[in-house]
Structure 1
């Protein structure tokens, strides 16, 4: 399971459990809270009315004439968004024996209520209350009864009970629970969206970082992702700094060993020629050894110059300032740069350019040097008087530049080595190149997000192909 999904599931599990717990607590507390408030109101009402009827009950006339008309009144009151259309208090009074002597609803007059908790406990001087269902099994039919003692001084002479159906306040309970659930659900959805956003951002940052690490591990050029000034961005910069230091140290060691090895031959040749020049010899031999010193010195200079150019592109992880580069114009320029070499070997270049100009984003100077190296190789191996084909075409969102010659081609044993640093094949006439041209081209191609390949052509000779991504058309 991907880390982004794990983070999201973990976050949603925590938020979901917390939301479930809070919603259950709120919903579970609403109903008891409303009932407790109702009971408190009934206690006050019962105590108030018990005081009012005490004198009448003492005299044997338990009358609440005004209350008898109470339930018949029609009202229309909106309380907290709930419409109330009827009055639903019920009041009954029992004597000291628990016999109902007054009932505002005329339901239990003369009945013995001494066993009901509200009457039984109140007549004993305790707090008397009960909740009884009018319909068996229907919790919504529950009626709450709260009694208060009717006193003659300190003596309890009866009990007054105020009753109110729970259904009268159930609408408030339902409304509160509905609002809590709606807002809780909204909060949960918002939390999920926030979790998705955070998980997406974190997973995206980690994917970019992992892609960078994978590219580094594969030895490819990679620019560290820009992840801001957060902890992941700091980690990316630290990884890049560590990579730069480690690669720089390893690269310098390899470079010094390779350079020392490659310079041994020209240095030995120069030293041998110089020692021979200290002796008397014919003018022609003297001139031969002097030319050898000059050519070996030129080879050293060319080797160092090309190596420095290669070092620059190998250490460069990305293009600093990419700009549009017209490839057809660049190919004409590269052919013009090699004009003297072409004349010296009686070669000509045939340009094959598309009708529609092709442009890529990149570094014009680096591309010019890379194409120059490919053309230089073709010139070095092409038979005198032959033709080199420099072609440009568009294939699958890529600009394809090919350089083909009709030379001897690449031996089978060398096909997988031509891009190795300092590896070169002898050219016609016995001369060899520095072996740094194709590695330079490969690095320039990588910097531009492209590839380069060199293979034998089916009709003979060799064909080098440089592929560069074309800009997306918007």
Structure 2
């Protein structure tokens, strides 16, 4: 399972479960809350009507007294009320009064006069001095599936309970309000759930993007590529990336030291052995001519050691660098000219003809010293593989957004078996005419410098013979 999908799936399940439970809690609380509110209003109404019914109750004229007339007038009213968008046409109360024995003395519905209600909770509890309330099925009113709430209040005379007044109201009266509130809560809940899921997707993508960058960085390091730690947003992930980078640098530093020590030791053995042998022989009497030959050998081997050490120091300076530290606008044409001037004597020594075609100005962003070392390495490599009295061709031209340097020799070219290894560290081909191998670090150095400059180096055989090295360096704006 991909990390981003896993994060989103986990967030999705949490959001669904949270939404389900929250919505259910809200919805489950709507009906009780609405009915509690209705019951509170019925308590006030029942106690008010109980006070109004005292006189008719005492004088035993509930059926024809002022109370019954006022209730009948109330029931005949046309309300024409609009309550939060719901129309109300008729009164919704049913009122009945029982005496102190629980016998119905008055019923606004004219259905249960004379019946014994003493066992119903509303009457039974009120007569005992407690709060009386009950809910009963509404089948008698043709409202199947609903209930009717009965709220009672005592009718008192001289602080003595002489009867009970009960107000009955169908719970269906508040059902429209409950359903509308439920719909609104559910709609808002679905919108909230959708917004949560969208946020979850964005968070998952954000986390996944940072982690994918870190994974790609780790994989590139594993492959031995020189990559810069990507920009990471989350603090913890950024700290993890920095820890990986620090660990990489320490491990690379340790490995490079080991490799360089072993390579330097190996490469130095041959010239040191030759110098030691020549110096020992010089301690013995010998002809002047032979003496000069051994001295010349010592000088050549010392020079070889110097070149080896310089190359390895150059290489070591690049191994731990991820970016250019002293980048500036550089005229590549001037860099190439300086390199050619510095290499002029060797070209003349081999009688090499140089054909140069470069503009006066070619601006790039980079390190002038490193770029000059790159050109020196390429020219040296081309000169080494060129036959005596041969020719080199060097051109510099603009191609789209890069400056392209092309250096061609007219040697034997690159063997097929070496094509994939020319930039490999310490890999070197034998020079023509019995020349000694190089350190195998020059082209590796060139490639690393090009990587630091965001450029590219290629080395291929030319269709007309010889080898051709090409540098592509991004042009500076």
Q: TM-score scaled to structure 2, two decimals?
A: 0.83
- 8 Å Cα contact 1:30-1:177 kept in structure 2: yes
**Alignment check: 8 A CA contact 1:94 1:113 kept:** no
Q: Look up the SS of the partner of 1:338 in the other structure.
A: helix
Report if the CA contact (8 A) 2:51-2:155 is conserved. yes
- Determine helix, strand or coil for the equivalent of 1:4: helix
Alignment-derived partner of residue 91 in structure 2: 88
**Secondary structure at 1:319's aligned position in 2?**
coil
Counterpart CA distance in 2 for 1:323 and 1:135 is 93
Q: Deviations over 1:5-38 (max 9, x none)?
A: 2112212321331122112101210111110221
Matched, 1:206 2:179: no
Q: How far off is 1:87 after superposition?
A: 6.9
1:460 matched to 2:465: yes
The question of 1:249 aligning with 2:248 is answered: no
Separation of aligned partners in 1, 2:337 and 2:116: 115
Which of the numbers 145, 148, 152 marks the counterpart of 2:150? 145
Deviates more, 1:4-13 or 1:184-193: 184-193
Alignment of 1:28-67 (within 5 A): 28-62=28-62, 63=65, 64=67, 65-67=69-71
Q: Specify the SS of the correspondent of 2:434.
A: coil
Distance 2:168 2:118 in 1: 16
Instruction: Tell me which moved more, 381-390 or 327-336.
Output: 327-336
Residues 248-257 or 46-55, more deviating: 46-55
Question: Which residue is equivalent to 2:377?
Answer: 373
> Which range moves more in the overlay, 34-43 or 451-460?
451-460
Find 2:282's aligned residue among 277, 281, 287.
Answer: 277
**What does residue range 106-185 of structure 1 map to in structure 2 within 5 Å?**
108=111, 110=113, 114=117, 117=120, 121=124, 127-133=132-138, 134-137=141-144, 139=146, 143-150=148-155, 158-185=163-190
**Counterpart for residue 259 of structure 1:** 264
In 2, Cα distance between the equivalents of 1:284 and 1:335? 36
Deviations 1:131-177 (A, max 9, x none): 444444565xx543323454677987654221334344345434543
Match of 2:392 in 1: 388
Contact 2:315 2:441 in 1 (8 A): yes
How far apart are residue 115 of structure 1 and its match?
10
Offset, 1:213: 0.7
CA distances 1:425-451 after superposition (whole Å, capped 9, x unpaired): 333443223322112112222323444
Structure 1 residues not aligned, in runs of 5+: none
- Trace 1:332-343 onto structure 2 (pairs within 5 A): 332-343=337-348
Asked if structure 2 preserves the Cα contact closer than 8 Å seen for 1:34 and 1:169, the reply is: yes
Structure 1 CA distance for aligned equivalents of residues 263 and 206 of structure 2: 45
CA distance in 2, matches of 1:244, 1:470: 30
Q: Any unmatched runs of 5+ in structure 2?
A: none
2:133/2:149 contact within 8 Å kept: no
d(CA) in 2 for partners of 1:359, 1:115: 107
Does the Cα contact within 8 Å between 1:88 and 1:168 map onto a contact in 2? no
Task: Choose from 335, 345, 349 the match for 1:344.
Answer: 349
* Map of 1:296 onto structure 2: 301
Distance 1:313 1:295 in 2: 28
Distance 1:70 1:339, change over 3 A: farther
Q: How many residue pairs are counted as aligned between the two chains? A: 465
Question: What per-residue deviation string (whole Å, max 9, x for no partner) do you get for residues 388-410 of structure 1?
Answer: 22244567866543321111122
Distance 2:454 2:354 in 1: 27
In structure 1, distance between residues paired with 2:441 and 2:426: 5
What is residue 410 of structure 1 aligned with on the other side? 414
Provide the C-alpha distance between the structure 1 equivalents of 2:364 and 2:193, rounded to a whole number of angstroms.
49
